[in-house]
Amino acid sequence: MAVTAKAFQLWRSRIAPEDTVTDLCRVAGIKRSTLAQQLVRGKVSAPTIVAIARAYDLPPAEALAEFEGYAGLAAGIRMPTDAELVSQVSHIDILRLLVARSEDKECAGADLQLDLAPFPHRNSVRAWIEAIDPGDIRQQVAASTGVARQNLSAQLTAGRLAPEIAVEAARIAGVSLTSGLVVTGLLTPHEGGWPEDGRARALCAMSDLDLVFLARDRLDVLGKQIRRAELDDGKDRAMWENLG
């Protein structure tokens, strides 16, 4: 959710009373034209708030919590669930662990040093929503935020989620309010309260059977995406051929 320009101006006057807008942009590494456009429209984006908070050594979650729509964000930071942690492991790393276990090089419960790929990964957002879904989270989020179901589905398909929707999804699911902001890349894992070794620990705690089922589900999603991309490519080629 973008914050109002008035609320932003009040906030920035508190954190940097001596700095001009130009100073603010320089310190935060933001283009002045970008912030100027947001102020003219009357809405300043969440990424802008986060960038400025970082530049002035303020915890981003605490900075966002000062604005409407993000109330209680910092106080709502909790440890992510194991399901959330595993949702942020790529299918490649899941398969790597399966292969390693089959070769008896690594096993569940061992003190492993898994070199997991950084996240968010390609399907981070959808995987997170599925991990926290009590059964009807899409319906609840749509009803609570007023976002149409098709628009919500489009965001998930595109691998993104508006910050305010991510926070509301976390509220509905009863998980850490910053989790959605971490999986969308707005906050770093550290800023969102995610433990550094949490993903590897949660992944390695899974049984072989659960790991196989997880790999199957991830590959099924990947297969559908590849199939859809191939169909779209085929339609594009056909169109250009018809155009001559």
Residue 207 lies inside a defined structural domain of this protein: yes
- pTM for this model (two decimals): 0.85
pLDDT recorded at residue 61: 97
pLDDT recorded at residue 109: 46
Which residue carries 């968010």 as its tokens? 120
For 174, phi then psi, to 5°, come to 75, 30
Cβ contacts of 200 within 8 Å, gap of 6 or more: 112, 113, 114, 116
pLDDT recorded at residue 201: 93
Residue 71 lies inside a defined structural domain of this protein: no
Structural domains counted in the chain: 2
CB–CB of 64/73 below 8 Å? yes
Does one domain contain both 57 and 98? Answer: no
Q: Measured between alpha carbons, how far is residue 68 from residues 38, 55, 131, 164, 227 in Å?
A: 17, 22, 27, 10, 41
pLDDT, the chain, mean: 89
pLDDT recorded at residue 144: 93
pLDDT recorded at residue 226: 84
Residue 73 lies inside a defined structural domain of this protein: no
Burial tier of 190 (Cβ tally within 10 Å: 0-12, 13-18, 19+): exposed
Does one domain contain both 54 and 101? Answer: no
Q: What stretches of the chain adopt beta strand conformation (E)? A: 3-4, 43-44
Does one domain contain both 24 and 135? Answer: no
Residue 227 lies inside a defined structural domain of this protein: no
Q: What stretches of 11-110 adopt beta strand conformation (E)? A: 43-44
For 70, phi then psi, to 5°, come to -120, 15
pLDDT recorded at residue 162: 94
pLDDT recorded at residue 234: 66
Q: Is the dihedral of CA 208, 210, 212, 214 positive or negative?
A: negative
Does one domain contain both 98 and 215? Answer: yes
- Stretches in the chain below the pLDDT threshold 70: 1, 104-113, 232-244
Does one domain contain both 96 and 197? Answer: yes
Does one domain contain both 93 and 206? Answer: yes
pLDDT recorded at residue 111: 45
Residue 242 lies inside a defined structural domain of this protein: no
Range(s) of the domain holding residue 102:
82-220
Q: Measured between alpha carbons, how far is residue 175 from residues 164, 169, 203, 222 in Å?
A: 15, 9, 19, 26
Does one domain contain both 157 and 193? Answer: yes
Residue 50 belongs to domain with CATH number: 1.10.260.40
pLDDT recorded at residue 120: 85
Does one domain contain both 149 and 181? Answer: yes
Cα 60 from chain centre:
15
pLDDT recorded at residue 101: 85
